[in-house]
Structure 1
Amino acid sequence: MTDEKRKPRMLEKRIHGLYDDLPGSERALADLILEFPGDLLVYSATELSERGGVSKAAVTRFVQRLGYQDYREMQREVREAQEAGEPIYLNTGLLGSTVDRARLQQHLERDVANLRQTLEAVNPDDLREVVRRCLAARRVWVLGFRNSYFFAAYIRRQLIQVRSDVTLVPAAGQVLMEDLGSMTPEDLMIAVGLRRRTPTLGRAMQIVRDLGVPIAYITDRVAVTTPKLATWTFPCQVRGVSLFDSYVGVMSLANYLCTEIVSAAGERGREQLNRIEDLMGLMGEIDPSN
């Protein structure tokens, strides 16, 4: 491999490109890797040969046939894919196929670790400044794409309890820059960008920053370029035990941020909240008996 940027799922593409011409022993390895490519980081070349029921020499031939210098280079590509959050590389055959107490415990321990690592990384001074700016801003914009959109929507839902002019973007079916056309430096953007980010996120953050608008950015710990565009960055640990990322740390951080904003809003926030509750009562939007 060269030092050029790794292309997504290159290992799979190489295997599929050669699959029909592989000898039987190497085809067994191909099937094993295609099912759970993330397991390559767990097994040595010797252990992989034992799992596939082939010789270690067959593993060496297979690796070289794919164009890698050695097994470690192939592992490095898988590690980079996992760090990028590519789901197929996060999946693993090590968990087995049935739910049991051990698997639940593993899931719990991973979530607890994610929660602790996320909150321990929070800079309290940055958080206090975001709280202050959120209440002082002319308007708050909350931005998110793909999975991040759900957390952006949650933040917006909480903030409208204590202040007006909180806008979730992008709006469904709309062009993002039309939504942001009235943005000024007196505003604040809260952006959520969890891994497997779209190119649009970075471009939007660049434009917003160039407009002089401060950005509070909730992201993961492997983000590289987008944190440079933010005024304050809050990196979250999102590592899961298998295919899906764990977002307990993201949700807890978002909840804590909104809680601090509500607390700092004081009497003004309580007036807004009371008005909303009165209007909801008039509309009958909440069923207290349900």
Structure 2
Amino acid sequence: MSDLSILKTRPSLRERVFLSSSAKTYPHATAILLLLPFLAVLSAGFAYPLLKLIALSLPDFSPHHYLRIVREPLYFGVLMSTAMTAMSVMVAALFLGFPVAYAMTRLKHRLALVVTACVLIPLWTSVLIRSYAWIVILQRNGIINEGLVALGVVDAPLRMIYTQGAVILTMAHVLLPFMILPVFSALRAIPPEYVQAARTLGSGPVHAFVTITMPLALPGIFAGCVICFVLALGFYVTPALVGGPGSMMIATLIGQQTTVLLDWPFAAALSTVLLILTLTVILIFRKTRSLSKGLNGGV
């Protein structure tokens, strides 16, 4: 019997787990009863509030508030600006995080532990504290401006705080661990023998990285991009502190509608649009990954 036929007849992990004799000992009624607590929590904590939110955004089944988002340039501009900012943050986190994740897989044990600690420690720090730290760094009398003036690079302090660039930089720093960890997990799962075999067959380091490492790391890259993009869409504190009123995002707009203007139906419509945008992005990433060569569907 050939190796290929042996692989075809060998049961997969999913079949061994879900089709084993121990998995068949529970009847359907017992399985449903075991799922009831989870379904109750899911219904009370997610499904019911979501349905109430959608119902609130459609008073008398009228799509007035949704049409208002499209018709009024201010609200539609905030929605598009939020999407573009989230995309920029995702790209920045990818370009900054991938080299760190790649270095973590190549460093020796002690140095790798130090780099891993530097990645994980920010997750234990409040987002508010990290945002205030960037305010200290980027303000007119901050570290960067004082250094540039002292070196004679500029004559007067630059305006770096309360700009869109400051928002993207700060959000990318906050979300960087969520990009590094999935990419690191994917890179660490790649057997080093693959790259060694490619180098033995004549591939250079760049060619081996592009043809071997990058395709096998795509699942981690997709996961990190989805996490960073979805989290960036709903950011509230960081854009409000670092960007100021000129960098309003949709989460800030929703908060303004609920706490200042008390327009709850319109805030519900904005929240529903944000949810639809998030689900659309996840489906796009899922479809893109499923069409990628050598990958299974799903994120």
- Identify whether the pair has TM-score above 0.5, normalized to the shorter chain: no
Q: TM-score, normalised by structure 1?
A: 0.27
Q: TM-score, normalised by structure 2?
A: 0.27
Higher RCO by CA contacts (8 Å cutoff, separation 6 or greater): 2
Tell me which protein shows more helix as a share of its residues.
2
Tell me which protein shows more strand as a share of its residues.
1
